[in-house]
Chain A
Amino acid sequence: DVKVTQSSRYLVKRTGEKVFLECVQDMDHENMFWYRQDPGLGLRLIYFSYDVKMKEKGDIPEGYSVSREKKERFSLILESASTNQTSMYLCASSSRDLNGYSNQPQHFGDGTRLSIL
C-alpha cells in the first residue's frame, strides 16, 4: 500500500512565523501535491511538483512556497503565517502509467490541521 506521511497531525503557530509542513511518500511517485481543505470549499490545490526541484503553482499559491529536493519529500512553506491560513492541509502523491500519463489516483496523507494564532 502507498504510504503518504505528513509530519504533524496538529500544529499551532503564531502570525508572522515561517511554517514548514513536511510530506513523505514511500512509493517512488513522480507527482506530489499540496491542498488546503476548508468547509464548503472542498480541496483547493496550492502547489504541485512533477519531479525533483520542479514545481508548479496551483489555484491558490499566494502566501505559500514549496520545496522538493528529494523525490520522496515535498515541503510546504508558509513564508509569514497569517490567520487566514488556518486550515487543514493535505498532501498527496500519484504515479504515471506505463505510457507516462499522469492519470493515476492520488494517494493522500492524514492531513495537518494548522492553527495560526
Chain B
Amino acid sequence: AQSVTQPDIHITVSEGASLELRCNYSYGATPYLFWYVQSPGQGLQLLLKYFSGDTLVQGIKGFEAEFKRSQSSFNLRKPSVHWSDAAEYFCAVGATTDSWGKLQFGAGTQVVVTP
C-alpha cells in the first residue's frame, strides 16, 4: 500500500521569500502525485498533478513541483510567497494499479506568511 509523509507540520515564511514544502511517498511502482491547498473553512483545491513524463510540473498560483524517483519525493515550491498563500497544503499519492482512484493523503503542512 502507498503512504505519504509530509515532514513539516508547520512552516513560517516571510512574504516575498521562497517556499518549499516536502513530500515523501512510499510506493512500489510509479505513483501519480498531487498537491492540494486548503484555505480556512474550505475544501481542497488542486494545485498540480504528476502522472508521467517531465518531472518538473507547473501548477496554478505560481507553484511548481519536482518528482524525484530516486528520493521518492515530490516537493512543492514557490519562488515568491504572497500573503494569500497562507493555507494548509496536502500531498497525495495514487496507485497506478488502483481501479477506483483512491488517494493517500499526507497529514498536511500549515503555512503561515508574515509581513
B99–A108 CB distance below 8 A: no
Measured as residues with beta carbon below 8 angstroms from the partner, the interface class of chain B is: 20 to 34
Pick the residue among B9, B42, B100, B105 that contacts A48 (CB under 8 A). B100
Q: CB within 8 Å of A: which of B27-41?
A: 32, 34, 36, 41
From B11-19, B68-76, B79-87, B90-98, give the one contacting chain A.
B90-98
- Give a binary string over A58-80; 1 marks a CB under 8 Å from any B CB, 0 the rest: 10000000000000000000000
Query: Chain A residues with Cβ under 8 A from B45's Cβ?
Result: 108
Pick the residue among A31, A43, A103 that contacts B90 (CB under 8 A). A43
A31–B100 CB distance below 8 A: yes
- Given A48-B102, A90-B44, A105-B34: 18 more A-B contacts, CB < 8 Å: A4-B43, A9-B41, A31-B101, A40-B107, A42-B90, A42-B106, A48-B100, A56-B100, A96-B101, A103-B94, A104-B101, A105-B49, A106-B101, A106-B103, A107-B46, A108-B36, A108-B45, A110-B41
B residues contacting A by CB (< 8 A) are: 9, 32, 34, 36, 41-46, 49, 51, 90, 92, 94, 96, 98-103, 105-108
For this complex, 21 residue pairs linking A to B, each with C-beta atoms less than 8 Å apart, are A4-B43, A31-B101, A40-B9, A41-B107, A42-B105, A42-B108, A43-B44, A43-B90, A58-B102, A101-B99, A102-B100, A105-B46, A105-B49, A107-B46, A108-B36, A108-B45, A109-B43, A110-B42, A110-B43, A111-B41, A111-B42
